[in-house]
Structures are given as structure tokens and as C-alpha cells.
Chains A and B, each alone.
Chain A
């Protein structure tokens, strides 16, 4: 189990926890939480430079792109065109050709716009991006995105920031079976609330888990980052170790022979 590695878009990682960098008090807390999580991949958002702000501190001064794989997202985009434009800008920073593709379909639920996500993925894959789409936990949609050449599919566990955990483990299991056949990693993205949710995703056989609010929104973000690190590791090892069958009735753990009479 020591040589268990996570392969993604031609790169190899040891950590199977991908963390977001939003909602922290400051860059120091961001860095401390990322370090405690053991993550090697961190997501970031693409936004206008604040021209009037004289403080020129940059997130990447706290998260060295030599050390972390920076995964820019297209959060806040509601059309394929906006997402494509954002991804192109992100790549031109020169930091990463990976993109977490997000095309939101509805402001209240933040569920993905599936057709627009597929359209954007098609264009970005053709342009050489390593596309990781945030998507509904729908097996057929994941299949289409994998066929297009996405380097991973990232079905949601529950709505972004909801902390509801894995709402549909059965769909995830179908997605996992299909993606294992296609050798496309499955990353559960969004909806994790606490450590057991992350462990469950890994026990199901997911390749990695991506989260932000569950850590950044915890009362003690750095402690929660540590908990998530252990949960993802425990879940992964349990998956590899192979859990026992669920049975309705008891089976004794102690020998039935040799009882005193």
C-alpha cells in the first residue's frame, strides 16, 4: 500500500486529497490548512487584479507553484464561453495547463449546466487543456466527458458548500465501475461535510476527494484539514484492503469449540 499512487493527467501524486483555497481568513491560514491537509493539488479561482489595492500580495507567494500543482477553476462561469475564456487566461499565467471546469447552471443550487460543461470540455480538450470537470453524479454525463478526453471526472457528492455528504453512493458506484474500465480517475468534488464523508468516498473506490468549505468553514480549519488528510488515507487503505460483506445476522469472532462446560 506504500506505493499506492494517484495518477492524473500524466502526473503522479501521493496525496488523494485536493483542497480549495477559498474562504480562509488570510493567506497564512490558507497555507497552514493546505500544509495540514497534506494536499499536493490546490484549486484557485481566476479573478481581476484589484488595481486600486496597493497591497500586492499574491496567493501564489504563499503556495509555491513549484511545490503544489495549481488547479485553476472556472468558478462563477455560467456559459461555456465564459469558462473557456477563463481557462485560457488561467493557462497563460504559465502555472498550469490543468483546469477545474465549472459551468454553473443555477445560482441557488450551483448545480452544473451539463450541456454547457460538455461543450466547454470539448473545446478545452482540443486546445490541449487537462480538463477536470465538476459535474452532476450522472453516469452517462461522466461517460461523455471521459470519452471527450477529460483527465478526470469530478461528480459532486452534494451541492457545493452544503456539507450534506454523499447523497447518492449508488450512482457513484456505477460511475466508478464505468470509469475504471476507461481508466479515468473519479474525484468526488463538493458536498463533503466532515471526515467520515471523505472516508466514505474513498471506501467506495474514488481516486481522490476535492473539498474547500468543509475545511475552511470548520471552527478549527487547520485541525479539520488534518482530520481530512487522515480520513482520505484511512478510506483509501480500507478500500484497498477490501471490506467484509454486510450480513444480516451475527457471525461469532471467537471459536465455537473448546467452550468450558
Chain B
């Protein structure tokens, strides 16, 4: 598989072309029920994680909850 470069949480990140969001989370060892994902400023619904393919140049944000007031 050819590699693509995306921006993940503000940093360049390389992954295989055709990777869906679900596989990215697995690679990052993140539980889907602990995070939320945005691609190019649009929230990706959890039900779409398997179907949503990450494309070259996408800006991907993966967030979780941290301590806060």
C-alpha cells in the first residue's frame, strides 16, 4: 500500500492509503468510546469510523477528556 501524509493533531503523520478512522484509532491504541474524531473540522460520527477513509492531506483531530474545571 502506498503511504500518505496527514496532519494529526497538528503534526505530520504517515499512514497507509485507504486507512479508515477505526484502524487509525487501533494503531494509536485508543478506545473509540474514549475519544472523538474530526476530519477537516467536521466531526466524524462513531458509526462512520469503519467507513470513513482518511485521505492525503487531511487534517485529523483526535480528542479526549482531560482534567478541567
Q: Which chain A residue lies CB-closest to B13?
A: A51
- Is A136 positioned at the interface, with any CB of B under 8 Å from its CB? no
- Is A48 positioned at the interface, with any CB of B under 8 Å from its CB? yes
Does A49 lie within 8 Å of B63, measured CB to CB? Answer: yes
Does A92 lie within 8 Å of B43, measured CB to CB? Answer: yes
Residues of B within 8 Å of A45, CB to CB, are 65-69
Does B62 lie within 8 Å of A60, measured CB to CB? Answer: no
Does A93 lie within 8 Å of B34, measured CB to CB? Answer: yes
- Is B26 positioned at the interface, with any CB of A under 8 Å from its CB? no
Q: Which chain A residue lies CB-closest to B65?
A: A44
Residues of A within 8 Å of B43, CB to CB, are 88-89, 92
Does B8 lie within 8 Å of A30, measured CB to CB? Answer: no
Main DSSP-derived SS at the B contact region: strand
Does A44 lie within 8 Å of B34, measured CB to CB? Answer: no
Q: Which chain A residue lies CB-closest to B38?
A: A89
Residues of A within 8 Å of B13, CB to CB, are 51
Does A20 lie within 8 Å of B69, measured CB to CB? Answer: yes
Q: Min CB distance, B15 to chain A, in Å?
A: 12
- Is B2 positioned at the interface, with any CB of A under 8 Å from its CB? no
Residues of B within 8 Å of A46, CB to CB, are 63-66, 68
Residues of A within 8 Å of B38, CB to CB, are 85, 89
Q: How many residues of B contact A (CB 8 A)?
A: 29
Does A90 lie within 8 Å of B64, measured CB to CB? Answer: no
Interface bin, chain A: 35 or more
Q: Which chain B residue lies CB-closest to A134?
A: B69
Stretch at the interface among A6-14, A21-29, A139-147: A21-29
Residues of B within 8 Å of A44, CB to CB, are 65-68
Taken residue by residue from 28 to 44, chain A's Cβ proximity to chain B (1 for < 8 Å, 0 otherwise) reads as 00100000000000011
Q: Assuming A94-B46, A213-B69, is B34 touching A47 (CB within 8 A)?
A: no
Residues of B within 8 Å of A23, CB to CB, are 67, 69
Return the contact of A73 from the options B28, B34, B36, B68 (Cβ within 8 A). Answer: B68
Does B9 lie within 8 Å of A92, measured CB to CB? Answer: no
Taken residue by residue from 145 to 179, chain A's Cβ proximity to chain B (1 for < 8 Å, 0 otherwise) reads as 00000000000000010000000000000000000
Known: A93-B33, A210-B69. 8 other contacts (CB 8 A): A22-B68, A45-B68, A49-B62, A51-B9, A73-B69, A85-B38, A92-B36, A160-B69
